[in-house]
Amino acid sequence: MYRRTYKQILGYALRRCSSPEDAADVVAETYVIAWRRITELPDGEADKLWLYGVARRVLANHRRSERRRLTRHTELTDEIAHLLPPPPTTVSRTAWAKPWTCSRTAIANCWR
C-alpha cells in the first residue's frame, strides 16, 4: 500500500503545504496513523481514499498548530517589545561617534 500510494499522498500534501518539509511531516503522520489503524484500512483501491481522508485531517491539525504557533509568537514579540529599552536616537549615535572621531584624529596627529 505504501509504495502504491506514497507519491499521490505526497503530491496532495505538497499542493496544500507551504513547504516541502511540512508536506513530508503530513505524509509521515498520515502513514503512522495508517499503521496504527491497519485493521480499519479498507481493501483494494479504497485504501487510497481512506489515506486521503487521513491526510486531510492531519493537514487540518497541522494548520491549526501553525496558526497557534504564529499567534503565540506575535504575542511574545509584543510582550518582549515592552521590556526592551527604546532604540537609540540619531543624536545619541552621533554623540557616541564623536569620541571615536577625536581619538582617531589624536592618534593620526601622534604619527606626524
The structural domain count of the chain equals: 1
Radius of gyration of the chain (CA): 29
* Residue entry with cell 504564529: 70
User: Averaged in consecutive runs of 10 residues, what is the pLDDT profile of the chain (112 residues)?
Assistant: 92 94 95 92 87 95 91 88 72 58 61 58
- Domain extent for 15: 2-110
**CATH value at residue 20:** 1.10.1740.10
In this structure, the number of other CB atoms found within 10 A of the CB of residue 26 comes to 24
SS3 content of the chain, % helix, strand, coil (to 5): 85, 0, 15
What pLDDT is stored for residue 86 in this prediction? 73
pTM for the model stands at 0.64
